[in-house]
Structure 1
Amino acid sequence: MSEGPEGVRDRATVRLGVPTLTAMVVGSMVGAGVFSLPATFAAETGVLGAIIAWAIAGVGMLMLALAFQTLAVRRPQLDAGVYAYAKAGFGELIGFFSAFGYWASACVGNVTYWVLIMSTLGAVFPVLGDGDTPLAFALSSAGLWVFFLLVRRGVREAAAVNRIVTVAKLVPIVVAVLLSLFVLDPAVFAENLLGAGDAGTLFEQVQGTMLVTVFVFLGVEGASVYSRHARRRQDVGRATVLGFLAVFSVFASVTIVSYGVLPAAELAELRQPSLAGVLEAAVGGWGAVLVSAGLIVAVLGAYLAWTLMAAEVVFVAAKDHDMPRFLARSNARDVPVGALLSSTVLAQAVLVVAMTAVDAFDFALNLTSALALVPFLFAAGYLVRVAVADGGGIRRRDLVIGVLATAYVLFLLVGAGLTYLLVSLIVQVPAVALFLVARREQGRRLLSRSEWVVLLVATAGAVVGIAGLAGGWIIL
C-alpha cells in the first residue's frame, strides 16, 4: 500500500452501522459506574434527592446527546466529536486541550475498571484487597497490555466483540433490578426518602451526586468520537440518542430500587461493587455472585470500548497536526497503533498514581469526570455558535439545545468544585509539549498571542493545584 506524506498508509476506513455504534455508546457507558451506584448515592442522598439528581442528569445529558446528534448533522465534515468541535469553535490550542483532556479522561477511567475488577475479586481473594495491593497492581497492569494486544488486531474485530459483550453485560443488571423490585420493602423505601439524618440539605445532597452522574454517563459521545467509521452521518446521531435512552433507564432503576432493599446507612457502607451487596441482601449469596460476574463482563467490555475511543481521539488530532505525527500511525487493520500504545502507557502511569491515593477508585472516578467536563463544555458551546452563525438566521432548536447543554456542564463544573479541575490542569499543562512538537514539525509559530494567554491561565491553575497538593488542602 502507498504511504502518505506523513508515513500513514492510505487505506479504506472500517465502516460501522447503527447497531454497532449504539453498542459503542452503551458499551462505554455501562461499565464500573453502574455497579457502584447504590452505595455512592446512599452516601449522599435519599430517594427524593436521587430522583431529583437523575432528573437533572437525565435532562442535562439528553441535551448533550442531542447536541452531539445535531452537530453530527450540521457539521458532517468534523470527525472525532469533542476534539473536532472544540477546535472548530475555539481554536487549535483549545482543541488540543479538549483532545488531551478527553484522552486522559478515558485512560484514567480505564484505571477505575481494573481497580473495581480487583476489588470485586478481593471479596474472594483477600490478597487483592480493595484493588490497591501489589498483586492487584500487577494483575491490572497485565490486563492493560493484554487488551492492547487485542485491540491491535483490528477495529472491526474489537467492535464486534464489544457488541456481543454489551448485550451480555446488560442481562445481569436487568435481572438485578427485577429481583430487587420483587423483594422491595415499602417501609424501608419510605424510611429512605430523605436519606440518612446527617445528609445535609436537599440541595447539598443533589450536588454531592453530580460527579457520579457525570462518570456513569461518560460515553454518551461514543458514536460521535467514532464518526469517521459511520456508514452514514445520520447514524451517529441515532446511535447517540438510542444509547443514552437505554442506559439512562438502567442507571436510574438500579439506584432507586436499591433504596427498597436496605436502609440508606447500610447501603452507604456496602463494599464496592455495592450492587452485589444489594442483591445478596435481596436473594442471598448467589445474587452477589451473579452481579460480580456481570461486573467483570461489563467492565471488560467498557474497557474495550474506551480503549478504542481514547486512541481514536488522539489519532484524529494527530492527523489534524495538533499532536505529534507518530500518533497518526495506523496499521493494515485500521488500528491507530501509535495512539493505542500511548493510551496504554498513560493508563499504566495513572494506575501507579492511583495505587498511592487514599481511595484508588474514588480518585480515578472523580478525576475522570473532571477531565471530561471541559471537552463537553466546548462541544456544547460550539453548538451555540453554530446555531447563531449558520446562514438563514438563528436555528432556535439548536440554540436551545446548545444553551441548555452548556448550562448543564457549567453547573457540573461549579458543583464539582475546584479540586479535581486544578488536578486535571496539573495533568494537562505539561502535555502542551505535544502540541508544541506538532507545531515544530510543521515549521509553524509555536503559539499565537491568544494561545499564550490561554496557556498562562491554565498554567496558573496548575501551579495552584500543585501548591494545594504540597500544602495538604488538596488530598487525593
Structure 2
Amino acid sequence: MSSDSATTEAPAVAKMSLPTLTAMVVGGMVGAGVFSLPARFGVATGILGSLIAWAIAGAGMLMLAFVFQSLAIRKPELDSGVFIYAKAGFGDYAGFNSAIGFWASSIAGNTFYWVFIGATIGAFYDGFGDGDTVLAVTISTVGVWLFHYLIARGVRDAAVINRIVTIFKVLPILVFIVVLFISFDAGVFADNWVATGYGDLGNLDEQIRNTMLITTFVFIGIEGASVYSRYAKKREDVGKATVLGFLSVLSIFALVTLSSYSVVPQPELAATRQPSMVGVFESVVGDWGEVFISIAVIVSVLGAYLAWTLMAAEVMYVPARADDMPAFLGQENRNGTPITALVVTSLGVQALLALTLFVNDALNFMLDLATSLAILPYLLAAAYALKLGLTGEAYEGVPAGVRRKETIVAGIATAYTFFLFDAAGLKFVLLMTLILAPASLLYIKARSEHGRRIFSPTEIALFGAILIGAAIAVIGLWSGRISL
C-alpha cells in the first residue's frame, strides 16, 4: 500500500443530496437481479403466482423500508444503520454479526455480478462460458482492482458516478418494458396466468416460496441510504430516499416480470439462458435486442458493483471506528476513503471469484448465498425497531398513534424476515454460521485491543450456537450432504 493508507485524518467529505441518496438505493437494487427475473420466475410460477409473490415481497420489503425510515427519525444519532441498529438493540456481538453478515452478503453479491457479466459475454464468446471459466475469472479479477482504484480516489466521486450510471442503466429496462407491452399477446398471457398446462410447478404456495430468494435478492440495497446516513445533507433525507428508491424499483421489477409473461410462454421463459432479459427481448425485436440488453446488463451490473463495494467498505470501517472490529480496518487515506476496509472487501471478492471455478452453478449459488446472508442484518434492524416501539424508548412526546403504527410495521417486518429464513432453507443458514464463526476472531481481537470483556453470558451462548452451526456445516460439506 502507498503511504496514503497510513493517513488517519481526512478532509470533510462533501454531503449527499436526496437525489444522490435515492440513486444509491436504486443503484444498489437495480443490478444483475432484474435481468434474471424472467427465467427465475418462469421456472417457478405463472402470472398469478408472480403477482402474489411480488405482493408479499413488496409488502414485506416496504415494511423494512418504513423500518429504516422510522429508525432514521427515532435514532438520528445512529449512523451506518445496518450495523449500529443491531448493536444498539442487542449488544456489541450482535452488532458485529450484523456487520459481518451484511459485508459477506455484499461480497457474495459482488462475486455474482462478475459471474453475471461473464455469462452475458459468454453468449458472444464461448471462452467465458457461464461466467465461471478461467478466462472469465481472470477478466473479472482485473475489473475488481480497477474499481478498487476508482473508489480509493474518494467516496464522493464514486457516488456521483453511481448516480449517472443509475440513469443510463434504468433507461434500457424501461425500453424493454414498453416494447414488450406493445407486443402484448393476449393468448400467451392467458396461458401463462396459472401455467397449469406446462408441467408440475407445485401448488401455489410452493410456487411462491420458490420465488422468495430472487425477490429478496433484487431488493437487497434497500438500506443503502441508511448505510450512508453520515454523508446526508439532511437527516430526514435518509428515510425519504429509502422509500422513494424502493417504490421506484418495485414498479420496475414487477413490470419486467409481467411484460415477459405477456410475450413468451412460461416453458420458454424457464429455459431461457441467463441473463434471461436478453433472450426475451431478442425474441421480440431480433438480433439487435441481444446486443442492446447485453450492454445494459454490463452497465447496470458495474454500477451496482460500485455501490455495493462502497457499502461493504463502510460496514467494515464504521465498526472499527467504534472499537467493534480491529483498529486496522478503521484506516482512511487522504481522500477520506476507508482504505483498509476497501482492501479487505476487494480481497474477499477475489477469493470468491476463485471459488466459482469449483462450484456447481456458480451464478445461482452466489445469488442464494448473498440473499441468505443479508437476511440476518435485516432481521436485527427490524427487531430493534420493534423493541423501540414496545418499550417506548425514543417515543417521548410522540403521539400514541404514531408509536402504535410504527410498532405494527416493525412487527410485520420482523415476521417477514423470519419467513425469509425459512424460504432460504437450512443449507444456507448453516453456511452463514460457517462464515460468522471464523469472523468472530476479528471481534475477539478488537475487544482485546481495548481491554474489554469479550463476551457476556448471553453472547457466549450465541457464540456457542454459531460454532455448533459451523461444525455441522463442515461435517455436511465433508460428507457431501451439503453441496456447493
TM-score normalised per structure 1: 0.97
CA distance in 2, matches of 1:10, 1:157: 15
Is the Cα contact below 8 Å between 1:14 and 1:334 reproduced in 2?
no
Matches within 5 A, 1:63-462: 63-195=63-195, 196-389=198-391, 390=393, 391-392=395-396, 395-462=403-470
Which amino acid in the other structure matches residue 431 of structure 1? A
Shift of 1:357: 0.9
Q: Match for residue 45 of structure 2?
A: 45
- CA deviation string 1:290-332 (max 9, x = no partner): 1101000000000000011000111111111111111101122
The residue type equivalent to 1:261 in the other structure is: V
How far apart, in 2, do the equivalents of 1:93 and 1:209 lie?
Answer: 32
What amino acid is the match of 1:443? G
Q: Per-residue displacement from partner, 1:197-216 (whole Å, max 9, x unpaired)?
A: 21000000000000111100
Q: d(CA) in 2 for partners of 1:301 and 1:334? A: 21
The amino acid of 1:379's aligned partner reads A
Q: Tell me how large the CA RMSD over aligned residues is.
A: 1.2
**Residue 55 of structure 1, CA deviation:** 0.2
1:135-193 Cα shifts (integer Å, max 9, x gaps): 00101111111100000011111011000000000010000011111112111111111
- Conserved? CA contact 2:222–2:246, under 8 Å: yes
1:9 deviation in Å? 1.4
Letter of the structure 1 residue corresponding to residue 216 of structure 2: V
Are the equivalent residues in 1 in contact too, given 2:10–2:336 (CA < 8 A)?
no
The residue identity in structure 2 corresponding to 1:272 is Q
Q: Work out the CA distance in 2 between the residues paired with 1:421 and 1:372.
A: 11
Shift of 1:285: 1.0
Displacement after TM superposition at 1:347 (Å): 0.9
Please tell me whether the aligned partners of residues 207 and 415 of structure 1 are also in contact (alpha carbons under 8 angstroms): yes
Q: Distance in 1 between matches of 2:413 and 2:78?
A: 19
Cα separation, 1, equivalents of 2:24 and 2:251: 17
Question: In 2 relative to 1, CA 159–7 (structure 1 residues): closer, same or farther, beyond 3 Å?
Answer: closer
Q: Distance in 1 between matches of 2:14 and 2:383?
A: 30
Which structure 1 segments of 5+ residues have no match?
1-5
| Counterpart code for 1:404 | I
Q: Distance in 2 between matches of 1:323 and 1:21?
A: 26
Deviation at 1:7, TM superposition (A): 7.0
Q: Which residue of 2 aligns with 1:468?
A: 476
Percent of counterpart pairs with the same letter?
51
Deviation at 1:387, TM superposition (A): 1.2
2:318, 2:330 within 8 Å by CA — same for their partners in 1?
yes
Cα drift, residue 448 of structure 1: 2.1
Structure 2 CA distance, aligned partners of 1:21 and 1:378? Answer: 23
CA distance in 2, matches of 1:451, 1:400: 28
CA contact (8 A) 1:27 1:301 kept: yes
- Indicate conservation of the 8 Å contact 1:14/1:155, yes or no: no
Q: How far apart in 1 are the matches of 2:353 and 2:428?
A: 17
Structure 1 range deviating more: 186-195 or 130-139: 186-195
For 1:347, the aligned partner's letter is V
Question: 1:333, CA displacement in angstroms?
Answer: 1.5
Letter in 2 for 1:118: G
CA distance, structure 2, for counterparts of residue 432 and residue 104 of structure 1: 13
Equivalent-residue separation in structure 2 for 1:250 and 1:233 (angstroms): 27
Mapped partners of 1:288, 1:425: distance in 2: 40
